[in-house]
Structure 1
């Protein structure tokens, strides 16, 4: 069996921790807990208090949050995943156009509507239902910050 390939998709955001929470719930991923690393860096004087925030009772790097696949390895000292990850980073400018890259969530035809409804309950919105017959049937949706993704 081949080793897991490490990768990280980076998404520009307005509220990184909130969007990480959404995508962790949407994909069944885990939000990375970097609090031990943050505490160690702060104790050593290598991280200023201004670079830290609190979210859901945990210290986080201000403006950053990541989610990782729960089956992939991670560094226990830093909380950083060593596999499939999505990093959310706050940027000052708003989203202004259609994404050039998007995620497809594969629910299968028997679970598509239930998955779409579950994602709506987490804050996603339906945009358009697409039915290409034998070529595929899916929903185009937007996450809470307006990033497009599909549910097939």
Structure 2
């Protein structure tokens, strides 16, 4: 039986990263406010673990995005399918190439438009690659994580 998984990305600002990647992929930022409110009211979590983002309660040190067509747990707001989870960590990203990265696929003639859209969202272009095996663009998200646009 296949296992359920999500991609977890360490970062300095999980909400900024979630906003970027939701816009980049057409995903939804998860809304965990109902769960957070219930946990605060029951005393299970402290207010120090919570912030406000987009006018609703959110976890201070974590945010996630989910594919809009996948199911959601109504009690927690957690996506039950394709997800990216962003966790705040104290150390900065090492100035080395990622060992794992996201590839975004577009139609070949849409790649320049997609790259422009992503740079307007806060990505930076590292370089464009044109090889016999194909062509793609390498970008960095707002925190310097590399990803490719094919």
Report TM bin, short chain. over 0.9
Equivalent residue for 1:107? Answer: 106
Counterpart of 2:125 in structure 1 is 126
Question: 3-state DSSP class of the match of 2:57?
Answer: strand
Residues 95, 102 of structure 1: CA spacing in aligned structure 2 closer, same or farther, 3 A cutoff?
Answer: same
Q: 1:12 to 1:44 in 2, by over 3 A?
A: same
Match of 2:39 in 1: 41
CA displacement at 1:5 relative to structure 2: 6.3
Q: Deviations over 1:103-138 (max 9, x none)?
A: 0000121100000000000000000110113x1100
Q: Provide the C-alpha distance between the structure 2 equivalents of 1:5 and 1:24, rounded to a whole number of angstroms.
A: 24
Deviation at 1:25, TM superposition (A): 0.2
Aligned-partner Cα distance in 2 for 1:85–1:7:
8
- Rounded to whole Å, the distance in 2 between the matches of 1:26 and 1:6 is 23
Once the two structures are TM-superposed, the CA of residue 6 in structure 1 deviates from its matched residue by 3.2
Q: Is the 8 A contact 1:5 1:83 kept in 2?
A: no
Q: CA RMSD in A?
A: 1.4
Matched position secondary structure for 2:109: coil
Q: Could you tell me how far apart the structure 1 residues matched to 2:58 and 2:134 are?
A: 40
Q: How many residues are treated as equivalent by the alignment?
A: 149
